[in-house]
A = this chain, B = another copy of it.
Amino acid sequence: MYEQIAEQIEALIRDGTFAPGKRLPGERELAERVGISRPSLREALIALETAGLIETRVGDGTYVRADLSPTPVFPLATGRDLGPGTLEQFEARRALECAAAELAAQRAGAAERAVLQESLDRMHALVARGENPAEEHRVFHVALVDAAHNQIFSRLVRELWRARQGAMWETLRLKVENAESWRAGLVTRAQLMEALAARDGAAARALMEAHFHRVGRKYFDPGE
């Protein structure tokens, strides 16, 4: 039954009854309106959340995700079906992000470069305060790959970064995240911005490859 309800709610989202960014009715009210119990309604909501259509905030409410992709994605892909190894995920991200950096240098507009610069500025502030800029790293890299104007790259890199925040990566993250690496990352990303401004695709790719080479050694080389 939860599948029927999920489809029903998804239809309401797609036809605009529940607009992106808006709050859905409360679980109790929604359950009564649809004519099912709250547990069943919850199961439908969890299916929609797993599918990436909605997000919930405890004590507040359930919201339609604002960044809905135009193509329906319901039956598939939460990153959950990626293969097991962290090394494999890293290699995939390396291949995609290096290629995306080159394309982004050729294609990024001023607005996209501004978004990247803002992220870099926030990173500076975080590092200055001694805080972990990991989440901002993700934002930067996702924005960079978006600037490549390739939906496939964007989608895959997003999923790979999301997977990187899971439990599987926890011990590896500790190996590379420290004050020194944060500062080094700021320099690298600043150079990347210069390459983008100069529309120098080769330089952008080279910088990204050097970055992944350096990080990869810290992650996976036993000697370090």
Contact = CB atoms under 8 A, between A and B. Distances in A.
B166 A7 contact: yes
A77 to B, nearest CB: 6
Most chain B CB atoms below 10 A, which of A46, A53, A78, A152: A152
A15 to B, nearest CB: 8
A152 B89 contact: yes
Contact of A42 (B43, B78, B156): B43
A57 to B, nearest CB: 14
Nearest to A95: B99
A96 interface: yes
Interface string A48-74: 111111000000000000001001111
A84 B43 contact: no
Nearest to A43: B46
28 contacts: A6-B80, A7-B167, A39-B42, A43-B43, A46-B50, A47-B47, A47-B49, A47-B50, A50-B50, A50-B51, A52-B76, A53-B80, A71-B76, A71-B82, A72-B77, A73-B81, A74-B155, A75-B76, A84-B152, A88-B150, A91-B103, A92-B96, A92-B150, A92-B152, A92-B156, A95-B98, A95-B99, A156-B156
